[in-house]
Amino acid sequence: MQLLKSLSVLALALAAHASVLTVKSPRLVVADSLGNQLRAEPFSLTQKTLTPVELERTDILKLTFQIVDEDGKGVQPHQTFVRFFDPTTGEEGIQPVKVTTAGKAKFELNVQRPPQYLPPTGSSPLSVSLIIGTPNFDPISAQLFDLTLPRSQPAPAHPDEPTFHLQQELFHTFRPDQKLPPKFISFVFAGIALAPWAVLFGLWSQVAPAPTNLLSPSILPFVLSLGALEILLFWYWVQLKLGDVLLYGFILSIPTILTGKRALSSISATRLGAKQ
């Protein structure tokens, strides 16, 4: 049983090894911004190109190749990638390559506009490899060459970066206590504030109409209950709580309304009677 199992695995492995992809006419070209070719040579999947490829700020790297099977027929693999790997930092960038149905592929890297997928470059070169994977064929992962790119700019600082540091400790600050004015000024202004009372009583003494029937039994209760309400409010200022004053005020308002109705209707009757 065990033997059968290992035999079947072997058979599967043989089947998998049956088809091999190769790359036809692989070529790498380095051109400057004007299109002049600085370097043009074939590359190989089996052997890494010894001289590292160097790109200046305005250079363009082009890779062209055709993927074929053993019969030389073009194959469009499911997955084709170029991988840039920085062995010192461990950062990598993997970029898919478009391959036509005939297996032809073209890859371009313009250093003037460095693509997002490139890892940040330091002093050591990036190692460039080609990865091809498709069902029924052996996968390929081949080191192509080392690539030296211009050193990348330092990463820009995020605008919020300073806020992610320890901030200065906050302290509560209070305004100084407000002060009462000197006693003398307080007394002077208390006198001035009371002066209008003198004016009021002075004027009233001249113009007050004679309170004819303020003490009559129909009016006096109303006046007293109004006074009681005012005293209640004063008491509220001095001592009472809001709930108390609302309760007492409600109780006191009932006799006030009744006596008020009586007093005012009696006044009204007197007024109308005097008119007629």
Partner 1 sequence: MSSKSQPSSNPMASLWNSYNDQTSNRLKFIDSFLVYLMLSGIVQFAYCVLVTSFPYNAFLSGFSSTVGQFVLAASLRSQVNPANKDEFKEVSPERAFADFALGSIVLHFFVYNFLG
Taking residue 28's Cβ as centre, other Cβ atoms within 10 Å add up to: 21
Q: In the complex, what is the shortest distance from the CB of residue 216 to partner 1, in angstroms, rounded to a whole number?
A: 15
CB 14 within 8 A of CB 87: no
Select the span of 8-16, 29-37, 168-176, 242-250 touching partner 1 (CB under 8 A). 242-250
The reply on whether position 187 binds partner 1 by CB under 8 A is no
The reply on whether position 245 binds partner 1 by CB under 8 A is yes
Q: Please pick, from the candidates 35, 181, 243, 273, the single residue that binds partner 1 as defined by CB under 8 A.
A: 181
The reply on whether position 242 binds partner 1 by CB under 8 A is yes
CB 19 within 8 A of CB 136: yes
Strands 53-54 and 140-148, by their bridges, are parallel
Q: In the complex, what is the shortest distance from the CB of residue 190 to partner 1, in angstroms, rounded to a whole number?
A: 9
Q: In the complex, what is the shortest distance from the CB of residue 199 to partner 1, in angstroms, rounded to a whole number?
A: 6
Q: Please pick, from the candidates 135, 209, 243, 273, the single residue that binds partner 1 as defined by CB under 8 A.
A: 209
Buried b (16+ CB within 10 A) or exposed e, 73-108: eebebeebebbbbbeeeeebbeeebebeeebbbebe
Nearest CA to 65 out of 56, 74, 57 is that of 74
Select the span of 37-45, 79-87, 99-107, 229-237 touching partner 1 (CB under 8 A). 229-237
Q: Please pick, from the candidates 11, 13, 94, 195, the single residue that binds partner 1 as defined by CB under 8 A.
A: 195
Q: Please pick, from the candidates 36, 271, 273, 274, the single residue that binds partner 1 as defined by CB under 8 A.
A: 271
Q: Please pick, from the candidates 15, 185, 224, 251, the single residue that binds partner 1 as defined by CB under 8 A.
A: 185
Residues facing residue 63 across a β-bridge:
28, 107
The reply on whether position 255 binds partner 1 by CB under 8 A is no
Q: In the complex, what is the shortest distance from the CB of residue 172 to partner 1, in angstroms, rounded to a whole number?
A: 21
The reply on whether position 248 binds partner 1 by CB under 8 A is no
Encoding tokens for residue 124? 């050591």
Q: How many chain residues bind partner 1 (CB under 8 A)?
A: 34
Whole-number Cα distances in Å, 25 to 65, 102, 119, 254: 6, 14, 28, 110
The reply on whether position 249 binds partner 1 by CB under 8 A is yes
Q: Distance from CA of residue 276 to its chain's centroid?
A: 82
